[in-house]
Every structure is written in structure tokens, then in C-alpha cells.
Amino acid sequence: MCSPEEEALLQLEEVFSVTLDHINNLVLQPLLKAAAEPSDPWGRECLSLLQQLHRSSRRLWEVTKESLHSLQERLHHPDSFGLEALLLLHSADHILQIHIEYIESYTSCVVVNVFQKAAKRRSEYWRAQRKMLQQFLSGMSSAGSVGTVLVQALHQPLAHHVQQYVFFLLSLADTIGEHHPSRELVVHAAELFGNLQSFMSQELDQAMATQALRHTLSSRVGDVLCTPSRRLLQDSQDIPVTVTPLRSERVLLFDDSLVLLQGHSVHTFDLKLVWVEPGQDGCMFHLLTPEEKFFFCSKDPQGRVVWQWKVTQAVCQALRGKKDFPLLGAGLKPSETPSCRCGAYTFLSEGRFCQATYEGEWYWGKPHGKGTLKWPDGRNHVGEFCQGLEHGFGIRLVPQASEDKFDCYKCHWREGSMCGYGICENGTSEVYKGYFQEGLRHGFGVLESTPQAPQSCRYTGHWEKGQRSGYGIAEDSDRGERYIGMWQADQRHGPGIIVTQAGVCFQGTFQADKMVGPGILLSEDDSLYEGTFTRDLTLLGKGKVTFPNGFTLEGSFGSGAGGGLHTQGVLDTAGLPPDPGSTRKRQLGLGAFPVESRWQGICGPFQDFVRAGCPGDLQEALLGFHVQSSKELRKSQEYLCCERTHPEDHTGRMEDILEELLQHREPEALQQCLRKALTNSLHPLGKLLRTLMLTFQATYTGIGANKHLQGLAQEEVKQHAQEIWAAYRGLLQVALQRKGQALEEAEDAETRDLQVHGLVLPLVLPSFYSELFTLYLLLHEREDSLYSQGIISLSLFPDTKLLEFLDVQKHLWPLKDLTLTTNQRYSLVRDKCFLSATECLQKMITTVDPREKLEVLERTYGEIEATVSRVLGQEYKLPMDDLLPLLIYVVSRARIQHLGAEIHLIRDMMDPIHTGGLYDFLLTALESCYEHIQKEDMRLDRLPRRWDLREPW
């Protein structure tokens, strides 16, 4: 059975439903007709507000009818329709929201006097309806204006209805008792509508205050400030306050902005970007905005408390994006405004950001975190900020004045300037990838022209304050030249080498971009000139030419009448022919550029990173960021940010890297760990190796692939292995320090060399092998050509004839105890003689590791001895006199191309620990075989003119 309170609620809903119908018919519909089809903007705004009020009124009527229906169901079927099924209880929050929407629509109309202005258009109609309106408006004065009647008609019934809601819901809660299952729903609904009463009162007060404010301002200022959606929260005319340093005549606090009026000037500050400093005492408190800091001072502490509290609450409300319920600040009571927030602001003060709009994260009045800056001239910057300045990774686009193209700076920034690693593309002319300091290229970097550029050029090396300075490589494809050497103030300065596409090499001292003083010239035919040059690298003055045949020409050189070379001197043809390799194998640059200081611009930042403890936020700035593809940089900054690939948490990833180093310190595990690190383009060691590879390719490929640079390249590869090992040791030390441990005692030079040659060099050599081996090929081209001719000559011998020719003792031939026909025996010898050793030796070219090549040579030696032992029927150790001819036989049959280059690379790169040991002995034997095959007595003219291939042996 239903309670009297439920029946009262039913009657209340019936009355309110009818009242809403009357309001719609007698007030809203006529108001809409009066405001229909306005011709001025103000009229169109009134019409829009009335339409919104009409929609919210209809929704309020609909939900009231639904509530009435649920009450009727409860009245007629109390046993099957429980109290908790009442719409007013289980959907109290939904009903509340509809009431709030109506209140906000209604108060928006109040702010701009919509009712009074609309009533003037049909004043006779409203006077005729006054009595009708008074029938459902209690306490309405008959002397009031039509506008006042309309205001009351749209507010008073709702206020009375909500008041009755609260009364009957509280009574119902008392009636059903504390243990009733629906009591919580009833109490909750009563609390909501009780709060709604306070909210309605506050909303109406703020709307009336905002309406009244309009009359105290000029029409222009009033129209700007007193908009329908804005509410006045505090006026300095009510509680006086002064603001410094900007002395304002009046201070207005709205729910979305703080306004300072000063004469005809209006300064508006978005509350989302206003910070209230907490903990102020006395009569003053501080406000921060993106470009100003204000001091608010009241006449007494009470006034300061009111203003500070209201501003704080208004800022918090603005940041939430909706009005507080039930009252401004009630129940929330924040002690201070949030220090971190997001927002947009256009800077007005003079400076780098003048007229720029920043949108992003803020901290205490300054851009801080991720954000975007956009200038009116088309420049924009997206990235990370710190304390108001660009700091961290960022991308800046700068439009070019003449064309629809952009300069793109994809860099790390520090305190507003580019600092650290970056990639910068200047339109379609050139791209720089390297390090910056204070906005200028500084440290290691690569500058190269794009394919669309009119002139092709590339510089790989060091920079200082935006200019090429230090060791660097410059390539001029148009002139077919490459310069390797020192720079100063963007010019070649100091020791340097010029390598030309024609094979001519110059080495000397440069000053102001020109070669000065004595130098040397190496020509393609290995002629050597030692003397002085003109600034355009022509021979001039005293000099000496040494020809490949040993002849020398010493005297004065100059330009001839016909433009050729003119010389006056002494030609010496009596000298003995020089060692064939004395001029041909001359190496340039050794001693001129200390190998340990050539690429300090790469290793230096890594050392800085390690000394700093490997902080995650510096990993990109010091080691470069990874870009998945080599596509041109796009204009879209969002695309560029997505293309940049790195772990979301740098610190976490660095922890994993260091932890892995700690877990793999045993020799075999360490080798696998380093191999994995060096092949990973995101690992610090992998990044370091790839940058060193870039410099190696820039120096020794293309024009730089010159045999006279082989020594320079060889020592560079060994130095890179040392640097990789030092980098590993640095990372390991950081890993141990984070665990509270210390690295073992300092490494001595001998231990370091063992690790570098035995562990690191085999791992890094494959990265440089292609370019390095090419230099060895060029350097030993002539020996390898003679060797190849010898191989061709020896290949004409049948196996038995070759064994005999090489003076291999017949008792060592693998032919004993074979009961086969001559043809069968010939076939066997032809295809199988020392075949296992031959196939083993051929595997030498399948690896780049010198140690593995030496192991192949050792296995080859073992296969030769095993074959001989099987022939003799006993274990047999070959003396050198027997080994050398057999090894020559195997080498000739293996037909390894460029064996001279292979031997010399192994000799230069093998671990010093093997010097004087078995590997050294075997390599020396292989060198002897190589030299024997080149000799004249191995040529075809020494071979028999005819052989009987069927002759028994």
C-alpha cells in the first residue's frame, strides 16, 4: 500500500506537469513568436536562447510525465511495483541534470534581458495574459512590469516544485525507516534536490549580477563581457581590491576569465591559465599568468581571503570545464590551483614568442611539457618545453620566403636553442645530421646536398660554432675530389690529403683553403713528386720526381709556354731500381692525423653520456635518435614524431641494457651479448658503431678508394675496436655503480689489447670489411695479377705432372696399393688428390674474421698431413721441405682470388698473441706459396709443350 507521501508526490507531479503546459502555451510559445525571424544579430541571439529554453522546458515536461507515470503505477500496483522502481528515485541523477539544463537556459536569458525585450514586441498581449499568469504564480505583485512577470513565471513554479520535492522525500525517508531497502535511494534523491535549491539560487543571483553589470559598462564593453554563457562571480566595486603593477580601475571575476578595466582598455585573462600562489598572508596575494605576475591587495585580510578563495575556486571550475554543483566550491575546497594544466595562449610581449600561439602543457605560468608553437608567419614548433623554453626533442618548420617550401629542424633543444643531436633539412638544398650547441652546428655532423641541389657536395666531420673545424672529409663530386684533413673557420687548414678520381693524390699543409709549402704528389703510375705547389696544386719551384723504374728527376718545375709542365734539372738513371713497394705502397696520412683524435666528436658525446650515469633523457640527445626509413623529412610534424622510433620509457630501456651487461660477463656470454648489442640499431653500442661506419664509408669509398689510404684505414678500424671496448667498459661501470658495486681493478694495456683483438675486433670488422678489403685489393693489385697468371699456368698441369713439377716426393702421393686401371687411376688422381685440403682452404673466403681464416689454414694443414699419413700408413709430421710444395699444390688447386690481399689483411688484423706461434708459421708458409706462384719459373714457357694424358705415372 502506498504511503501518503507517495500520493502527495503524485499530486505534485500532476500539478507541475499542468503548470509546465501552461508556461509553454502562455509564455514560451508567444515569446518565440514575438522573436521570430529577427533581422539584427542581437535578435537572432535572443531567438536562439529562447529556442534552447523551449527545448529544455519540453524535456523537463517529458521527464515529469515519466515520473508521474511511475508514481501512478506504484499507486495502482503497490505489490508488484516497488518503491525502488520510481523514476524519481532510481533516475534521480538524470532528472537532476534535466533540471540543471533548464536552469542554465533560463539564467542565460536573464543575463541579456531576453524576456523584457521580447515582451515589448507584444505588450498588449502580455497585459491581457497578466491575470492568467497570476493564477499559477503565488505572491506576484500586480504592479510589476511584464518582463518581471515573465521572469517569475519561468522560475517560480520550478523553485516551488523542487522545494516540495525535498519536503516530501525527506518525509518519505522518515516514514519507511532506516532499514528499508529503498531508504538510500530516497535519501540520495532528497540530498540531490536539496542541493539543487542552493544551485538555483546561486545561478539566479549570478545571472542577475551579470545583468546588472551590463548597465554599469559602456555598450561596447558590456556586449563583449556580459555574454549569455558568462557569469559574474565578484566585482571590485563590492569588495575593493587593487592590482599592481597594472593599475586597474575595476576588477571583474567571471566564471571563465579575470578582467581588468583600465580606462578604455580591457585586459582579459583566461582562468585556465591563471595560477594563484597559495599560502598568502595579510592583505595581499599573487596571481601568475603566462606573461604577467599580479599582486592583489585588499583593504583588509577578510577581503583578501574572499578574493583569493573565489579566484581559486573559479580557476578550478574553469579547468574542470563545468559549473560546480551544488555551489561554487562547495564540497571541493581546493587549497590551491593545479600547477600543471593544458591550454592555449597567444603571446603579446616582445621577444621570440611575440604573436606566437602556444597550445599544450603548462606549469606555473610557463610552457612546460609537450606543446606546439605557431607564429603568424608560418613558423611552428612542436616538441617539449621546460620553464617556458624549448627543451628536449622538438621539430621546427620555417617557411622559405621565395617558395612554398619549408626548412625543417628535427633536433634536441636546451633552454631555447638547438643542443645535442639533430637532423635539419634546408628546403631541397641540403641536409645536416649531427650535433648542435646553442643553436649552431657543433661537434660531429654530416652536411650533404640533396639530389635536387644544383651542386653536389658532402662534408663528414667536426664543427665549431657553425663552421667546419677540426678533422673532416669533404667530397666534391663535380670536381671529382675528396679532401681528408684538418679544417678551421670553414676552410681547409692544417695537414691534409686530396684524392682525385683520376687516382692522383696530394699531401701537404693547407692554409686558408689552399695548399702551401712543401708537399708530395703520387700519380696513378706510382710516380712520386716531392716539392712545392701553387695554390691551385700545380708543380712550381724546386722538387724531385721519383719514377717507378728508379729514375729520379731533381730540379725546378714550372708552367711551360704551351701550358704544359716545364722543368730544368738533373735526370739520374744510374740508381738501382728501388724496392717495388717503396713508392707503390707509400701510405698517406700516417702520423699527420693521430688516429685516437680523428673522431673524438663521435666518441666524446658517448663518454659524456657515460660519465653522466647514462640518464635516459639524454640518450637521444647524445647518441642520436633512430629513424626507421631514409625518406625525406615530411612537412607534417605529427608524421615526423611518429616516425621517430624510441622506447616510450628511455630510463626503463637503459636499465634493461645495463642489466643485460651485468648478466653476461663470462667470455662466451659476453661475446654473444656484444654481438647482439652491435647489431641493434637502438642500442648505444650499436649506434656508436653505425656512426663510425658512416665516417669510414665517407672516407674510403668512391673517390676515397685509393691504395695510398690503406694504412690510414687499417689503423682506424683497430682504433674503432678499442673505442667500442672502452664504451662497453664505461657502460659496465655505470651498471655496477647503480648496483652499489665497483669495477675490478683498472685494465692494463696488455689485457685491453687481448680483449680488443680477441673479442671486439672480430665483431666490428665485418662492418668495415667491404671498404677495407677494397683498399687491400688496390694496394696488392699487381702481385695478385702475377699470382693469378701463375694459377692459370699451373692449372694446365695434370695433378701428377704438377706434383712432379713441384718436386713432391712420390712416396707422399696418395696412389699406393691401388689395383685400378690406368684410366681409373688417372680419374681418381684428377678429381680426388688432396681434395679435402683444397676444399678446406677454399673456405677461407667465407669469413671476414682473421682468426677464423687462420683456423681454416690450420685445418688445411691438418688435412694435408692426414692425407699423407693415410698414404704412409702411419702418423707423419711434414717437415717444411715437404710441406711447402704440397701447400703450393693445394693453393694452386684452391684458386683463391686476391690471395695477396687476403694474406696481408690477415697479417695486419690478426691477434698479436699469435705472433711467433703456429698461426704465424702457417701464414708465413702461405705467403711463401703465394710468392712462389708469382715467380718466373712457374710461367707457361717453362712447362712441357706436350703431355701424353694417357701416360701412366
Sorted by sequence, the CB contacts under 8 Å of residue 358 that are 6+ apart come out as: 290, 344, 345, 346, 347, 367, 371, 372, 373
When mean pLDDT is compared across 419-428, 522-531, 828-837, the lowest value belongs to 828-837
When mean pLDDT is compared across 434-443, 531-540, 610-619, 882-891, the lowest value belongs to 531-540
In this predicted structure, what is the pLDDT of residue 14? 92
| pLDDT tens digits, 220-268 | 888 888 899 999 999 999 999 999 887 788 999 999 999 999 888 899 9
Rounded to whole angstroms, the Cα distance separating 849 from 842 reads 15
What rounded mean pLDDT belongs to the chain?
A: 85
pLDDT confidence tier of residue 92, bands split at 50, 70 and 90:
very high
For residue 902, the surrounding DSSP H or E stretch is: helix 899-909
Rounded to whole angstroms, the Cα distance separating 400 from 404 reads 7
Decide if 114 contacts 49 (C-beta within 8 A): yes
Decide if 734 contacts 613 (C-beta within 8 A): yes
In this predicted structure, what is the pLDDT of residue 811? 82
Residue 460 DSSP symbol: E
In this predicted structure, what is the pLDDT of residue 945? 37
Q: What is the 3-state secondary structure (H, E, C) of 68-111?
A: HHHHHHHHHCCCCCCHHHCHHHHCHHHHHHHHHHHHHHHHHHHH
Query: Is residue 203 predicted with pLDDT exceeding 60?
Result: yes
Query: Is residue 206 predicted with pLDDT exceeding 80?
Result: yes
Place of cell 654473444: 672
Rounded to whole angstroms, the Cα distance separating 647 from 644 reads 10
In this predicted structure, what is the pLDDT of residue 282? 85
Mean pLDDT over 95-115 rounds to 92
Dihedral through CA 805, CA 810, CA 816, CA 822, nearest 10?
40
Query: Is residue 290 predicted with pLDDT exceeding 50?
Result: yes
What is residue 357's three-state secondary structure?
A: strand
Domain ranges of the chain: 4-215, 231-338, 595-629+652-744, 780-940
| pLDDT above 70 as % of the chain | 87
| pLDDT tens digits, 628-647 | 433 444 433 444 443 444 44
**Where are the extended beta strands (E) located within 207-298?**
232-235, 241-244, 250-254, 257-262, 265-270, 275-276, 284-288, 293-298
| pLDDT tens digits, 761-806 | 999 999 999 999 999 999 999 999 999 999 999 988 888 888 888 8
